[in-house]
Structure 1
Amino acid sequence: MFNDIGALELLTLAILGVLIFGPDKLPKVIQDASRFIRKIREFSESAKEDIRTELGPEFKDFEFEDLNPKTFVRKQLMDGNDDLGLKEIRESFDLRKEVTEITDVVNGRSTESVEAKTGVSGGASVTAANGSKGAPDLLKKGGQPPKDTPPPFDADAT
């Protein structure tokens, strides 16, 4: 309970206790405080036992620490039991490959270079407005987009 209190803090509390309560009343105050803490602990333990008995035998392994969301997630996702296959999904998801592919398409690089870098084929290659392979660069002025593509949508203009 008091694991993070150092010697200096403990000495300061003792001096404050002597100054506030006086040396003759301090032992009784400490005794009353320890009795109060003991009663609180007993009350919480009895409440936990009542909850466990009411839940029944299905929840005999129930821990109240699991009610903390961080503890629950850490126990369910980070431990060895991988019932949902999350480890396999985590390993198959390569964010760097996806980001590289997107930046190459935005920069107008050919899909063959994207496929060579990532090892994944993107299907049919896209032909730009000027007839070259790669994605059309609609951000540059001067080039007209292909006739079958809709005009760019500007969310700020609507």
Structure 2
Amino acid sequence: MFFNISPLDFVAIALLAVIIFGPDKLPKLIQDASRMIRKLREFSDSAKEDIRNELGPEFKDFEFEDLNPKTFVRKNLLDNDNLGLKEIRNSFDLKDEMATVKDAVQEGGRTVRSAGDRDSGSAAAPVNGSDRLHKSEPLRPGEHPPFDADAT
């Protein structure tokens, strides 16, 4: 139905209205409510027409629904593709990009670990724990992560 009211809810509301207002006052109440809704619609239609007249002929196609930001974006940016936005949007395939980055990181991690494993047998003592940069060992409790001067 309307306003996301199920038929059972509508019957419950009608039954409640009959109980509260009584069967003799309910028809008059419905007439008054429908008359008030009709007058509100006439008032809003006349106000919209007055605004359109004040805006001038260049805004004759103006719709008040366009003032909603979602409607404005949908109508002006997504439907009218003068700027080629659909083409740009379709060119971004984030799943492929993320898979490529993931593969590169995984391969880079293997390369760094294997290089670190090879370097671990060298006699030179690294400064500031930089030997841990190339190893995959976890840090011991209370140990600070190594400082990499090249990364900063």
TM-score bracket relative to the smaller structure: 0.5 to 0.7
Q: Which residue of 2 aligns with 1:145?
A: none
Q: Distance in 1 between matches of 2:7 and 2:106?
A: 62
In structure 2, relative to structure 1, the CA distance for the partners of 1:4 and 1:102 (3 Å cut) is closer
Q: Which residue of 2 aligns with 1:56?
A: 56
In structure 2, relative to structure 1, the CA distance for the partners of 1:24 and 1:85 (3 Å cut) is same
Residue deviations 1:31-54 (CA, integer Å, cap 9, x gap):
111111111111111111111111
Query: Following TM superposition, by how much is the alpha carbon of 1:62 offset from its aligned partner in structure 2, in angstroms?
Result: 1.0
Q: Distance in 2 between matches of 1:100 and 1:6?
A: 46
Gaps of 5+ in 1: 110-128, 131-137, 143-148, 154-158
Amino acid at match of 2:134: K
Q: Which residue of 2 aligns with 1:151?
A: 150
Q: Distance in 2 between matches of 1:17 and 1:2?
A: 18
When the two structures are superposed, what TM-score results if normalisation uses the length of structure 2? 0.65
Matches within 5 A, 1:58-77: 58-77=58-77
Query: Following TM superposition, by how much is the alpha carbon of 1:82 offset from its aligned partner in structure 2, in angstroms?
Result: 0.9
Q: Distance in 2 between matches of 1:39 and 1:47?
A: 12
Deviates more, 1:98-107 or 1:27-36: 98-107
User: Does the Cα contact within 8 Å between 2:65 and 2:71 map onto a contact in 1?
Assistant: yes
Q: Which residue of 2 aligns with 1:141?
A: 135
Amino acid at match of 2:135: K
Higher CA-based Rg: 2
Q: Which residue of 2 aligns with 1:113?
A: none
When the two structures are superposed, what TM-score results if normalisation uses the length of structure 1? 0.63
Matches within 5 A, 1:6-155: 6-79=6-79, 81-109=80-108, 130=115, 140-141=134-135, 150-153=149-152
Give 3-state SS (helix, strand or coil) of 2:2's partner: coil
Query: Following TM superposition, by how much is the alpha carbon of 1:2 offset from its aligned partner in structure 2, in angstroms?
Result: 3.2
Residue deviations 1:113-152 (CA, integer Å, cap 9, x gap):
xxxxxxxxxxxxxxxx95xxxxxxx95328xxxxxx9433
